[in-house]
Amino acid sequence: MDSDSNTTYTTMIRDMPTGERPRERLRDHGPGSLSNAELIAILLRTGITGENVVNMAVRMLSHFHGLPGLARANYREICSLKGISEAKACQLMAAFELGRRVVSLHPEDRPIISCPQDVANLLLAEMSLLAQEHLMVVLLDTKNHVTGVSEIYIGNLNSSVVRPAEVFRPAIRDNSRAIIVVHNHPSGDPTPSPEDVSITGQLRESGDLLGIDVLDHIILAGQGHVSLKERGLGFS
């Protein structure tokens, strides 16, 4: 029984198989090797009956539409989720506040995107389980440090609904040098569709006019991802 709640907890991190324990993976490979869900699981420590702590973290991220939404959530909103006690909510909010303070003091400590896998590590856990397609934009500075992640659109993506003005608005507002476009395939198959390729080309052309580089368009699905740039789709 966890002392901070009346909920019965049955799955703690120490009870998980050794190779799946986020704490050990962080110790052996560094925090950058962990997904957002795994980092949150370390803070939560325990799951509930029928749901291990990593799955609980994934559920939280899905509920709040990703890490930015969870970071903006207030105390009552976090406590309203099943299995989240007052102590757990306080731990999460304290961690997010420390992160905001560190980023504000030391911009060089922000995550750096150097390859598609870095984007997958940042967003795959929460986006892979979403029931609808979500279009996100990762904002980058001149050294490819992540300065923010903005949700642009929810729903079936096609060129008639994806407006370049909306996609680039956060980048223009934050004076970002470059962006990476990210969306998920709820089907579990990350294979790009012809529409995905068309949207990529349109956004690249708009970015050229605005002086904002579209470095990649990455599709996340299931446990995998596809970089359209690596495949030469929409980046010819």
151 part of a folded domain = yes
Is 24 exposed, middle or buried (CB count within 10 Å of its CB: 0-12, 13-18, 19+)?
A: middle
Q: Which of 105, 140, 175 is the last residue of a domain?
A: 105
pLDDT value of residue 3: 41
Same domain, 128 and 68: no
Look up the CATH number of the domain holding residue 98.
1.10.150
pLDDT of 18 reads: 54
- Confidence band, pLDDT 50/70/90 cuts, at residue 193: very high
Domain limits at 46?
13-105
Contacts of 189 (CB under 8 A, 6+ apart): 221, 222
User: Taking residues 35-55, what's their average pLDDT?
Assistant: 88
Q: Does some domain include residue 1? A: no
Q: Domain check: are 121 and 215 in the same one?
A: yes
Residue 104 has pLDDT above 80, yes or no: no
- Whole-number percent of the chain with pLDDT over 70: 87
- Distances in Å between the Cα of 144 and the Cα atoms of 60, 112, 113, 118, 233 are 28, 6, 6, 11, 22
Q: What is the CATH number of the domain that holds 220?
A: 3.40.140.10
pLDDT, greater one: 20 or 212: 212
Q: Is the pLDDT of residue 110 over 80?
A: no
Confidence of residue 122 (pLDDT cuts 50, 70, 90): confident
Last residue of a domain, one of 42, 71, 105: 105
How many domains are contained in the chain?
A: 2
- Sequence-distant (6+) residues with CB within 8 A of 95 are 43
Per-residue confidence band for 5, with pLDDT thresholds at 50, 70 and 90: very low
For the cut 50, the answer to whether the pLDDT of residue 133 exceeds it is yes
Please compute the mean of the pLDDT values over residues 72-87 and round it to a whole number.
Answer: 92
As a whole number, mean pLDDT of residues 46-61 equals: 89
pLDDT at 50: 84
Count of helix runs (H) and strand runs (E) in the chain: 9, 5
The pLDDT value given to residue 4: 45
Q: Are residues 134 and 161 in the same domain?
A: yes
Any domain includes 2? no
Residue 8 lies in a domain: no
Residues 96 and 194 grouped into a single domain? no
216 to 54, 112, 117, 125, 179: CA distances (angstroms): 29, 14, 12, 19, 8
What is the band of 20 on the pLDDT scale with cuts at 50, 70, 90? low
Tell whether the model's pLDDT for residue 233 goes beyond 90: yes
Q: How far, in Å, CA of 86 to CA of 44, rounded?
A: 11
pLDDT tens across 142-181, in order? 989 888 888 888 888 776 678 899 999 999 988 999 999 9
Q: How far apart are CA 210 and CA 166, in angstroms?
A: 13
Examine the fold and report which residue of 82, 105, 128 is the final residue of a domain before the chain moves on. 105
Co-location of 116 and 217 in the same domain: yes
Cα–Cα distance measured from residue 59 to residue 85, given in angstroms and rounded to the nearest whole number? 15
